[in-house]
Amino acid sequence: MRLARLPFPRSGNPPYNREPGARSTPKPSPRAARIEARIHPDTLAVVRRAAELQGRSLSDFVVAAAEQAARRAIEETSVIRLSAEGQRDFVDLLLNPPSPNAALERARAHHERLIGPA
């Protein structure tokens, strides 16, 4: 007795649970972008050890560290930090602005000639 051949693809994945025309291989994840870097062997050993201590893959550790450093760099350029004295001076100038000096008065007059009164 001869068994009938089943219409399974050679990959061994049965055709059910897929929409018609769907790919049999998974789509690449959105994390498919690659970066490459040359790294000194001693530095690689330190990074590899740190990844092991955190129970992460080397790739996951490097990506997380790079993202953390990038966010910190962006924040450092986006946030202005003032001492307590600097904060008081800033608020005082906002609430009690100095009277316009001669240069500012000339600039205002020039603006009014070009654009019109504010």
| Boundaries of domain holding 88 | 38-114
Whether 15 is in a domain gets the answer no
The reported pLDDT for the residue numbered 94 is 96
Higher model confidence: residue 20 or residue 47? 47
User: Mean pLDDT score of the chain, rounded to an integer?
Assistant: 85
Whether 3 is in a domain gets the answer no
Whether 31 is in a domain gets the answer no
Whether 16 is in a domain gets the answer no
User: Residues 74-95: what's their mean pLDDT?
Assistant: 94
Closest CA to 35 of 3, 14, 12, 62: 62
| Element spanning 49, H or E | helix 41-53
- Is the Cα torsion angle 18, 19, 24, 27 positive or negative in sign? negative
- Count structural domains, the chain: 1
- pLDDT exceeds 80 at position 16: no
Q: CA angle 12-13-19, nearest 5°?
A: 155
Put simply, whether the predicted model's pTM sits higher than 0.85 gets the answer no
- pLDDT exceeds 70 at position 2: no
Task: Report how far residue 52's alpha carbon sits from residue 49's, in angstroms, rounded to the nearest whole number.
Answer: 5
Whether 18 is in a domain gets the answer no
Per-residue pLDDT of 36-83, as tens digits, reads 999 999 999 999 999 999 999 999 999 999 999 999 999 999 988 899
